[in-house]
Amino acid sequence: MDKFSYIGKPVVRKDALVKASGLARYAADQDFAGMLYAAAVRCPVPRIKILGVSDSKARKVPGYVTLVTHKDIKGPNKWPLVVDDYPFLPETEAKFQGETVALVVAETQKAAKNAARLVEIKYKELPFVEDPLKAMDKKAIKLYGDDNVFAKFVIKKGDPDKAIKEAHAVVEEEFTTNYQVHAYLETQGVTAVPEADGGLTVYSSTQCPFYVLDGVAAVADLGYHKVKVIQTVTGGGFGGKEDVPALVASHAAICALKTGRPVRLIYDRKEDFNSMSKRHPSWSRVSYASDKNGKITACVVKYVLDGGAYSTLSPIVLWRGAVHAAGPYKIENVRIEAYAVATNKVPCGAFRGFGQPQICFAQESLVDDLAHKLKMDPIELRLKNILRPGDKTATGQTIGASCGLEELLETVRKRSGWDSKAGSHNPNSTRPASGPDKVRGLGVSVAYYGVGLGAKGRYLDRAGAYVNIYKDATVGVNVGNTEMGQGALTVLSQICAETLNAPYDNIKLEEVDTSKVSDSGPTVASRTTLMSGNAILEAAAPIRAGIFKTALDLLLAKGAQASSPMSAFRGVFSIGEVSVTFAEVVKECWNRRMKMGEQGWYVSPHTSYNMGDGQGDAYVTYSYSADAAEVEVDLKTGVTKVLNIYAAYDVGRLINPRLAEGQAQGGILQGMSWALYENLVYKNGIMLNPNFTDYVMATIADKPEYDIVFIEKPYAEGPYNAKGMGEVPLIGVAPAVGNAVRNASGVRVRSVPILPEKVWTGLAGNRK
């Protein structure tokens, strides 16, 4: 018999029916009696001194109710995040085009939008800076502190300068990457409802209800017990609904408190583009050195993120990028300097991969360049250097047993036909190109991802759960981490059902409500399965003990042999031919007056890390990936088409293979879209293409063929030995595509996106 009832099984998603049938209620579906609507009045240029705000014209709009400014804020005018430099509403200065300066409240959404357009901001334009490298110059305009640097981190190990001097081969290049828009289907949205006790209930589309709680309690100057945040069904996040929903909710809360009525605030797509967080643009200079046999002896990195006008999550994003900047390699000599810098553009924050895709593109492109210089196969070079159990990372952390990177790389090598296809524009190619002016190539990359928030955010790496079995044998579960499309409801239900031996259909994950469960940290960093899964195990363990003892008592009372072992599978307990159902056992537990509800609390293992030199255990564990991309390049136009992606992942034991496959496919396409298409353009501090017409993204028509394999390396601390899955599929795609473009065409593009004109320019240069 199978060891598990539900773990490792492709059970149907818990939210499949409600979403497919259109019954899911998103932020825009929340209706309340007497509800009003808010709209933002936004800064029109990159930086201004605010002289005044006038609603004289807006008052003439039928349905207009009031104007809300910073003067209506009851608490401190600082959004509580990593650094409190971002005002809920600016008082004297707005720092980027699209920043909310004031809000209009009206009886209808149309009236609110019309009135907001008529509000006049009286202002004086101020000098601005949009280039992070120029912002670091001592003579630059000061936007933040004395140097415009939100955060700086260093990692120092060994003597890289000496190793570079003594190296057989050295490669050094500069790389840049552009923004990426989250492009969630549902824009930012929230409804704030005043309560009779002077408190607020907030219905928010969010990944992180407790961040929303922090923001609303602060702006309203209310105790946490007076604010309840309920997550509505959330139409995608990818990091874009981590921190910024708290700002949107705080704006709605101010409006609701001023008017005494429920207020809904829903962004349209343009304002979501203009004002909400993005993936950080980056600049990096990377150096690798090696001996003549291809052993990498040193890595030096300078890594700069464009943080935008306010710091938001830039310090945390930067730290993760720095920790991973040398790549998943065993290197004795490392120096990494990483900076997050202020500019007068949209603030950047969390995005799937969280600071790693940018630097992974640089370092994995350069590893290929090193292989080219050494005249070595790129996979062979990686196999000589990749991390294996017992090896130490750039931060000096010893890699544990849950590391399958070597197997992943060998798997991708075999399944992609690497040894016959690499350089497939050559006569040895097993797949000819589709036309005379087209060439094909294959590129590879490897990546790793620290699961959870790590040493920098360890105070948030905790989670709570409440498991309650009702008299009818159904099970209610409250957790603090959220569903946003990734399948958390399903995976956590599987963990609970497996632990209790309850039927899967009997499990219900309740909506996340901050008044019903303790602050469980954000739903980010591939931490939900690990953290909330373990919290459910903690809560379910004492209930399970009582259930299993009661089941045994019932079986023995029915004549089962005490000397035979009891089995528990899919809601049935049995000894030999004698069996009882979960429902029968639960009924008896209630008759015995047993406690059928328990709380669980899980805290991640302690990590010791020195922020001074960047040495120590950065994360409790890592997930790993290897990617091979097969592309076809049109030599006349420079257009690149991705034909196949071969991917292998180690994410511990799979709880649900179908959901894992879906996460992988989505991450691959999102990474490919960033690599080839997504090009958000700023000119003179103004965003030029804040819409899906001009901001090009991959669609299903661009989807490559997927070949996805999971190699399960159990993680002892994980629930049923699982790690985390959500982020790692995206990280290595861009460098694999870039390496394939070079393999096919001979053109190395050192910037993302790899646009056709960049490839064409490189081809033209080669022809000269």
Q: How open is the CA angle 349-355-361, to the nearest 5 degrees?
A: 135
User: How far apart (Å, rounded) are the C-alpha atoms in residues 299 and 330?
Assistant: 10
**Side chain identity at residue 189, one-letter code:** G
Would you state the pLDDT for residue 424? 44
Mean predicted confidence (pLDDT) in 7-12: 98
Mean predicted confidence (pLDDT) in 396-404: 98
Would you state the pLDDT for residue 423? 52
**Strand order across the 36-42 sheet:** 64-68, 100-106, 36-42, 263-266, 189-194, 200-204, 227-231
- Using pLDDT thresholds of 50, 70 and 90, give the confidence band for residue 606: confident
Mean predicted confidence (pLDDT) in 322-326: 99
- Using pLDDT thresholds of 50, 70 and 90, give the confidence band for residue 1: low
Would you state the pLDDT for residue 768? 62
Residue 434 has pLDDT above 90, yes or no: no
Mean predicted confidence (pLDDT) in 259-273: 99
Show the 3-state SS of 297-353.
EEEEEEEEEEEECCCCCHHHHHHHHHHCCCCCECCCEEEEEEEEEECCCCCCCCCCC
Mean predicted confidence (pLDDT) in 83-90: 97
Dump pLDDT digits (tens) for 480-510. Answer: 999 999 999 999 999 999 999 999 999 999 9
User: How far apart (Å, rounded) are the C-alpha atoms in residues 605 and 450?
Assistant: 13
**Side chain identity at residue 524, one-letter code:** V
Dump pLDDT digits (tens) for 88-142. Answer: 999 999 999 999 999 999 999 999 999 999 999 999 999 999 999 999 999 999 9
Q: Counting beta carbons within 10 angstroms of the beta carbon of residue 170, is it exposed (0 to 12), middle (13 to 18) or buried (19 or more)? A: middle
Coil, helix or strand at residue 710: strand
Dump pLDDT digits (tens) for 332-389. Answer: 999 999 999 999 999 999 999 999 999 999 999 999 999 999 999 999 999 999 999 9
The rounded percent of the chain whose pLDDT value lies above 90 is 96
Tokens of 541: 């363990």
**Strand order across the 93-94 sheet:** 93-94, 48-54, 120-125
Residue 427 has pLDDT above 90, yes or no: no
- Rg of the chain over all Cα atoms, to the nearest angstrom: 27
- Using pLDDT thresholds of 50, 70 and 90, give the confidence band for residue 430: very low
User: How far apart (Å, rounded) are the C-alpha atoms in residues 553 and 151?
Assistant: 61
Tokens of 748: 């190395």
Close Cβ partners of 3 (under 8 Å, ≥ 6 residues apart): none
Mean predicted confidence (pLDDT) in 525-540: 97
Do 511 and 458 meet the contact criterion of CB atoms below 8 Å apart?
Answer: no
Structural domains of the chain ordered from first start = 16-22+462-603 (3.30.365.10), 31-126+188-266 (3.90.1170.50), 282-394+402-454+611-767 (3.30.365.10)
Query: C-alpha dihedral over 695, 701, 702, 705, to 10 degrees?
Result: 150
Would you state the pLDDT for residue 458? 87
Dump pLDDT digits (tens) for 656-668. Answer: 999 999 999 999 9
Q: For the chain, what is the mean pLDDT?
A: 97
Task: Tell me how crowded residue 577 is: count the other CB atoms within 10 A of its CB.
Answer: 7
**Left, alpha or beta for 54 (phi > 0: left; psi -120 to 50: alpha)?**
beta
Dump pLDDT digits (tens) for 145-160. Answer: 999 999 999 999 999 9
Do 607 and 616 meet the contact criterion of CB atoms below 8 Å apart?
Answer: yes
Task: Tell me how crowded residue 235 is: count the other CB atoms within 10 A of its CB.
Answer: 19
Task: Tell me how crowded residue 709 is: count the other CB atoms within 10 A of its CB.
Answer: 16
